[in-house]
Structure 1
Amino acid sequence: MIKLLFIFTLFQTNDSTLTEDKAIELALSNNFDIRLEAYNLEIAKNNNTAGNAGMLPTIGLNGNSRQSIQNTEQQFISGEGQTRDGAKTTIYSAGASLDWTLFDGFRMFATKERLEEISQLNEMVFKSQVQDAIADVLKAFYNTALEQERLALLESTLKLSEERVSISKEKYEIGKASKLEYLQAQVDYNSDQSALIRQQEVIAYLKLQLIQLIGIQDGYEEFDLVYDLTDFDTALDLENLESEAVQQNPFLLQLRSQQEVSLLTIKENERDRLPSLDFNLGYNYSNLSAEAGFLQSNISSGITYGLTATMTLFDGMNKTRTIQNARIMSEQSLTAYQQGEAQLRTAVRSGVLVLRNAKMLAELEQKNFDVAKENVTIALERYRVGKSNPLEIREAQNNAVDAQIRYIESLNMAKIAEIELLRLTGKMLEK
């Protein structure tokens, strides 16, 4: 006797299986969004230097070689004169210079603080991208798992329909059933077989989406998912998730860091109003040789040094405008943070509500499925002994299928809600 049993699809671990942990591991190494954001993080770290903030001196070298050929006719005060055709003049020069801003109203220190905050901001952006990517992979993983459970259900339904065809055939051959009943059983069997083929196509498509999110390009082969829809994170404290999310959500931390960057930008621009003092040091060497003129040769070398003080007294109010815009951007970033916090709190509350309701629905639907499963067994036995008709057994079969689908959909809904809550609270990689 065929019984409709609900069994999670579990496979032995081998090269053709994909677990949740393995999917995360592969995504961390291959996901394109993660890899692209890693470049931005590296650039931000490279920019966070004392030299980029203007704290270090600039040292340069220069060299020059110049020649000229001229026709000259010179008349001196003494009455003597000189005429030369094709007189050649050669000049060689070289030098080294050092320029160092000793004081710029402490702007360089504000710039260094801003670069440091931008580096931290990019770390938060990267972490947020990692969590979003892993959440997308896990959602795709469990949505594929849900469809795999549907496939297992359809396979069980197909076996039941196959047994029904066998029973109706035997009854028809001995004259206990009409041919119409036998043909209807075959039609239902073919319908279930068609549904099975369509479900296999759905799973194949979802697997392609999953491997795209993971970032796998080559070596794709058929794989089976290893999962357990009933395995929930028991460490998830639903009562305190909202406060944890406000403290740990990567996107909210990113908005907070953007606000800090805007405040440092104001500070940086305000320092531009103060005077600056630069130290200059240079060494120059020059060698001149000429075939005409007062000097036949001239060699000089020496050091130059000094201080340069500058202060802008009026720049058309441009600096004031820049500071005003920076303050507006600071207020804008504060408003963006407040908006993000409000949206985050709503999302967490909604996620907790969905998770709790989905778990309660799963418990209820499991009871319904147990009853429907027993009903199928009874209906099949009644049909076997001729005490029920094809409509009764088909209805019992459909009821059992619907009950099981509602059950696995409730579990999947709870799983997706849990993944989203882990993402919102910044705990995705702690899972």
Structure 2
Amino acid sequence: MLFFHQKKHRYMRRFRKIFLLIFIQFFVFHYHLFAQDSLLTADEAVKYAIQHNFGITISKNEIDIGKINNNWANAGAVPLVNATANKVVGVNNLQQKLNNGTVITKNGNTTQNFNAGLAVNWTVFDGLKMFATKRRLEELERNGEYAFKKNLNETVYNVISSYYNVVTINEQIKSTLEQITLYRDRNDLAQRRLEIGTGAKYEVLEAQVDLNEQYSLLLSLQNSLALAKTSLNNLMGKIPDTSYNVVDTITVNELPTIENAQTKIAKQNPDILLANSDLTILFETKKEINAERLPVVTLNGFYNFARNKNGAGFTLLNQTYGPSGSVGVALPLFRGSVVKKQLAVTDIQIKNQQITQAQIKNNIETLLRNAYINYNNSLKLVDLEKSNLVLATENIYIANERYKKLNITSVELRQIQISYSDAKNRLYNALNQAKLAEAQVALLTGDIANL
């Protein structure tokens, strides 16, 4: 009976080994299959997004709308020309009694009236409103360009952030596969030690739990990788299930001095340019409103043709045609203080926009300082974690050899393996944070599209 149970346990252990081997080979196979996809670099992802991102495409179209609207006709400086034509046909009963005693009676009398004309109306002075409107339209066109640049820069930043998130998860998957190999070796050693009587059952169970935990982590990372790639595809304007491979390194570039970054921000940051543009638009709007207080001078020109034809009566045909012209002056005397109230509202809007400008500048300065702090600290962490990883790599090799010789317990080996895994993950995260801080500075300075 005892022999039967021992044999049963051996079969169960062999079955678990086979299952675990198939499981890890399944993931390794799919991982290598993934690695065979075409390589997508960060630069390629950014270039593709610039050409195909939906939001960027819409922003480009908004620029075209601004260009179309920016013209003197919309500003009210172009003459208006209207052509009119009207024909009236009627049937009337006529009855006339003249002073000489003559009586004229005619039923079914037809009349035909035809009028045609050409009218030109040109506002030559409207309190300079048309010039303020034209400047506002020009600023709106520039505003659309700034909005496009803002959308472009933010999209590029999101693409870079999403891309290196994929890289980080991909490297974490590699690390987890390496950990699975280490944990599987530890599990095999614990099994053999139990079989020869030098180990304990709890060591085997602990090794199996830790190994299963790594498989669970691998599944979770595979899921996170799929989601991250889908998000990146969406930013690039690709279909969600597009497959590709990414680079396996994160290269962090040197940042400009904070003084140079501040100078670029003042000249290139889209948020600041947009805030300045919005303020300019409000000033031009105020001029347009103020022009409502001033007189309006218009030139009017006409060319009319009129033809009246009657079947009976004194005048059987009357036809006139020829040009005419006039000068019109309109002076606003009272409008219920509407202009005054509109100006008061605009003044408040201008004050709010000036406060918004100060707020945006302060927010950007805060983001810039934080980005430099994150960048410098992340680089320090990268250097530290590289050193830690060298030590952890050497330590885990020694620990494995000592465990084989029964010089350390499984608990000690497990802790060393965890330390090794944590060191690698901290290094990836530090590199990713440094890259994001670099991208944040480029976003604030307006250089993100050239990163």
1:392 lines up with 2:412 in the alignment:
yes
Q: 2:403 matched to which residue of 1?
A: 383
1:128 lines up with 2:150 in the alignment:
yes
In structure 2, distance between residues paired with 1:47 and 1:14:
50
In structure 2, distance between residues paired with 1:107 and 1:13:
64
After superposition, residues 3-402 of structure 1 pair within 5 angstroms as 16-217=38-239, 220-226=241-247, 228-229=249-250, 231-234=251-254, 236-402=256-422
Task: Quote the offset at 1:69 in angstroms.
Answer: 1.6
In structure 1, distance between residues paired with 2:151 and 2:392:
44
**Is contact 2:34–2:245 with CA below 8 Å preserved after alignment?**
no
Task: Quote the offset at 1:127 in angstroms.
Answer: 0.7
Helix, strand or coil at the partner of 1:312: coil
**What does the per-residue CA deviation read over 1:55-77, in whole Å, with 9 as the maximum and x for residues that have no partner?**
11111111112211222322222
Helix, strand or coil at the partner of 2:308: strand
**What does the per-residue CA deviation read over 1:247-298, in whole Å, with 9 as the maximum and x for residues that have no partner?**
3211011101111111122222223322222111111112222213322122
In structure 1, distance between residues paired with 2:404 and 2:34:
37
In structure 1, distance between residues paired with 2:445 and 2:308:
74
Task: Quote the offset at 1:40 in angstroms.
Answer: 2.5
Helix, strand or coil at the partner of 1:59: strand
Seen in structure 2, the aligned counterparts of structure 1 residues 242 and 10 have a Cα distance that, compared at 3 Å, is: farther
**Is contact 1:11–1:225 with CA below 8 Å preserved after alignment?**
no
In structure 2, distance between residues paired with 1:154 and 1:328:
59
In structure 2, distance between residues paired with 1:90 and 1:13:
87
The code of the aligned residue for 1:181 comes to: E
In structure 2, distance between residues paired with 1:299 and 1:384:
121
In structure 1, distance between residues paired with 2:181 and 2:370:
40
Seen in structure 2, the aligned counterparts of structure 1 residues 329 and 316 have a Cα distance that, compared at 3 Å, is: same
Helix, strand or coil at the partner of 1:282: strand
**Is contact 1:10–1:227 with CA below 8 Å preserved after alignment?**
no
Seen in structure 2, the aligned counterparts of structure 1 residues 105 and 183 have a Cα distance that, compared at 3 Å, is: closer
**Is contact 2:123–2:297 with CA below 8 Å preserved after alignment?**
yes
The code of the aligned residue for 1:328 comes to: I
Seen in structure 2, the aligned counterparts of structure 1 residues 112 and 227 have a Cα distance that, compared at 3 Å, is: farther
**Is contact 1:11–1:226 with CA below 8 Å preserved after alignment?**
no
In structure 1, distance between residues paired with 2:37 and 2:80:
57
The alignment's TM-score, normalised by the length of structure 2, stands at 0.87
The code of the aligned residue for 1:20 comes to: A
Seen in structure 2, the aligned counterparts of structure 1 residues 271 and 10 have a Cα distance that, compared at 3 Å, is: farther
The code of the aligned residue for 1:414 comes to: A
In structure 1, distance between residues paired with 2:71 and 2:333:
30
What count of residue pairs does the alignment treat as equivalent? 421
**Is contact 1:11–1:17 with CA below 8 Å preserved after alignment?**
no
Task: Quote the offset at 1:242 in angstroms.
Answer: 2.8
- Give identity over the alignment, percent: 30
The code of the aligned residue for 1:186 comes to: Q
Task: Quote the offset at 1:180 in angstroms.
Answer: 4.5
Task: Quote the offset at 1:121 in angstroms.
Answer: 1.3
Task: Quote the offset at 1:240 in angstroms.
Answer: 3.1
Seen in structure 2, the aligned counterparts of structure 1 residues 215 and 242 have a Cα distance that, compared at 3 Å, is: same
Question: Bigger shift: 108-117 or 64-73?
Answer: 64-73
In structure 1, distance between residues paired with 2:32 and 2:315:
97
The code of the aligned residue for 2:243 comes to: E
Seen in structure 2, the aligned counterparts of structure 1 residues 410 and 293 have a Cα distance that, compared at 3 Å, is: same
The code of the aligned residue for 1:146 comes to: T
Name which structure has the greater RCO, CA cutoff 8 Å, separation 6+. 1
Helix, strand or coil at the partner of 1:160: helix
The alignment's TM-score, normalised by the length of structure 1, stands at 0.91
Task: Quote the offset at 1:420 in angstroms.
Answer: 1.4
Question: Bigger shift: 61-70 or 77-86?
Answer: 77-86
**Is contact 2:37–2:243 with CA below 8 Å preserved after alignment?**
no
In structure 1, distance between residues paired with 2:314 and 2:419:
115
Let me know the Cα RMSD of the aligned residues.
2.3
Task: Quote the offset at 1:313 in angstroms.
Answer: 2.0
Q: 1:3 matched to which residue of 2?
A: none
In structure 2, distance between residues paired with 1:65 and 1:241:
72
In structure 2, distance between residues paired with 1:104 and 1:10:
73
**What does the per-residue CA deviation read over 1:155-193, in whole Å, with 9 as the maximum and x for residues that have no partner?**
110111222233334444444434543443333222212
In structure 1, distance between residues paired with 2:351 and 2:430:
43
Q: 2:3 matched to which residue of 1?
A: none
Task: Quote the offset at 1:11 in angstroms.
Answer: 12
In structure 1, distance between residues paired with 2:259 and 2:382:
21
Structure 1, unaligned runs of 5 or more: 1-8
**Is contact 1:359–1:411 with CA below 8 Å preserved after alignment?**
yes
In structure 2, distance between residues paired with 1:179 and 1:314:
99
Question: Bigger shift: 181-190 or 114-123?
Answer: 181-190
Helix, strand or coil at the partner of 1:51: helix
Q: Which has the higher helix share?
A: 2
**Is contact 1:20–1:227 with CA below 8 Å preserved after alignment?**
no
In structure 2, distance between residues paired with 1:387 and 1:194:
30
